[in-house]
A = this chain, B = another copy of it.
Amino acid sequence: MQIEPEDLVPAAAATATATVRPGAGAELRVMALQQFAAVGFAGTSLQQIAASAGYSKSSVLYHFASKDALLGEVLTPAIERLEAILGGFTSTSENAASRHRFIEDFVDFLLQYRLEVHVLINQAQSLKGIAVIDRARALIVRLGDALCQEHATTIDRMRFGVALGGAAYSLVAGLTFFDEDITPTDDLRPALITLLSELLAPVAVRTTQPRK
């Protein structure tokens, strides 16, 4: 890993050609993300990424130092967004309102970065050496701790895992099983909020209420 040469809108701010050029780097990131989510990081070749964006393999390696670095740049925005959400949640006093607010933020995060989340959730274990992946793993552990706190029973931990894995699955992989072109985001958001509230609320209530 190293510092990337530079590709983020250098000429865009320079002159008025910004409208014509969306930027090769950004375009490659999008195509790479789609392929990583569809067939996995190991199953995606630089050749395929380049071809799907209309470039050559050498161009990909010009914009990104390596395949690993490309993965890092693809996933980093999602990780930073989630870190911000988690930071905002842990810095406030925990109650039903703050937890509901967190779930709403988290659902919006899932909807915006669904492909990134899918890659992180399903391939984190197989990409353990890569820096951005380790960072994401640590973040997910922190997320679990923040929601479950110290006295984590098996079912509490599993509520978190099911909510996380289930949301990631149903937003990407699950849709491919049935004919899609359905399920607009407007429909998905309230459904997800309801489901995650059901799954995660008991974990919260447990910390405030003595017993049931």
Contacts and interface: CB of A to CB of B under 8 A. Distances in A.
Interface of A: 38-43, 121-126, 137, 140-141, 144, 154-155, 157-159, 161-170, 173-174, 176-178, 183, 187-188, 190-192, 194-195, 198-199, 211
A14 to B, nearest CB: 40
13 contacts: A38-B125, A39-B126, A43-B43, A124-B173, A125-B173, A157-B183, A158-B195, A159-B195, A161-B170, A162-B169, A162-B195, A165-B170, A165-B174
A154 B188 contact: yes
Task: Tell me which of A41, A165, A211 has the highest count of chain B C-beta atoms within 10 A of its own C-beta.
Answer: A165
B121 A169 contact: yes
Contact of A166 (B41, B43, B162, B190): B162
A124 B177 CA distance: 9
Nearest to A153: B191
A169 B172 CA distance: 14
Contacts of A188: 154, 158
A123 B191 contact: no
Nearest to A42: B43
